[in-house]
């Protein structure tokens, strides 16, 4: 039985550190593998597009990069929404006129 891998990050006072977790395979089936996830059994489909762990380190690194790119996309969108909301409330404070962006009729 071989090992599978998962790459994660941990934030500490000294910065961000990359960790490589080696997960021991307990059993292989025609559809996937069971492995020991720190004392808990976990099943991963071998044919899945998104997997918790990968059979080799190269795939685990690519999976980590894809997760971080998706996280950046989500957080960038959330930051844009927060900035828009802040701009609108500051506009209201200055002018007393608030642009609801088409929702004004719903609020009356």
**Per-position pLDDT tens, the chain of length 108:** 689 999 999 999 999 999 999 999 999 999 999 998 888 899 999 988 889 999 999 999 999 999 999 999 999 999 999 999 898 888 888 887 666 555 554 455
At residue 95, the pLDDT reads: 82
Number of residues that make up the chain: 108
d(CA 51, CA 107) in angstroms, rounded, equals 44
Residue with tokens 């980590």: 64
Q: What is the pTM of this model?
A: 0.79
At residue 36, the pLDDT reads: 86
At residue 108, the pLDDT reads: 52
At residue 37, the pLDDT reads: 84
- List the domain boundaries for the chain: 3-96
Burial of 97 (0-12, 13-18, 19+ CB in 10 A): exposed
At residue 2, the pLDDT reads: 86
Contact 58, 7 (CB under 8 A): no
Q: What is the dihedral of CA 37, 42, 49, 54, to 10 degrees?
A: 30
């Amino acid at each position: 039985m071989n090992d599978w891998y998962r790459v994660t990050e941990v934030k500490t006072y000294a910065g961000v550190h990359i960790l490589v977790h080696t997960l021991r395979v307990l059993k292989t089936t025609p559809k996937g593998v069971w492995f020991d996830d720190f004392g808990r059994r976990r099943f991963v489909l071998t044919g899945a597009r998104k997997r918790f762990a990968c059979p080799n380190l190269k795939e685990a690194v690519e999976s980590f990069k894809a997760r971080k790119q998706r996280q950046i996309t989500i957080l960038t969108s959330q930051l844009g929404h927060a900035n828009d909301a802040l701009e609108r409330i500051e506009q209201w404070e200055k002018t007393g006129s608030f642009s609801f962006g088409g929702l004004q009729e719903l609020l009356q």
